[in-house]
Amino acid sequence: MDWPHDPDGEEGSEGGRKYGHAVLAKKVDEDEDFPFTAGEFVEDYGNHPVRIDHERVVSVDDIFDYIDDDEEFETFPEFHTVVGEALREADYWPYRLEHA
């Protein structure tokens, strides 16, 4: 894909040091951006890259395909919770819990 910036550059995952939630969280200013909807977030950042792990990069839009555009985020923890659920549903979460 032709990204608007390098997925591992300072605008992306900071040279591969940040993944998933951390890349998305950098796009949100906790003091100024809330509330906002998933659709607004995708409108602003949909074509931006998100490094999932050392091998895989997807777009913000790919992750937000699993979130309703009308979903409204009032707080940063709420944003993280919904995005985490979407990452798991999309199988973009690199860690799995083993159930006994």
Query: Which strand (E) or helix (H) includes residue 89?
Result: helix 76-89
Question: How many domains are contained in the chain?
Answer: 1
* pLDDT value for 54: 84
Tens digit of pLDDT for each residue in 48-81? 999 998 889 999 999 999 999 999 999 999 999 9
User: What distance in Å separates the CA atoms of residue 48 and residue 7, rounded to the nearest whole number?
Assistant: 8
Mean pLDDT for the stretch of residues 38-47: 97
The reported pTM is 0.88
Give residue 17's domain range: 1-100
**Other Cβ atoms closer than 10 A to 78:** 14
Q: Which residues contact 27 (CB under 8 A, 6 or more apart)?
A: 41, 44, 45, 48, 60
- Mean of pLDDT over the chain: 90
- Is pLDDT of 97 > 80? no
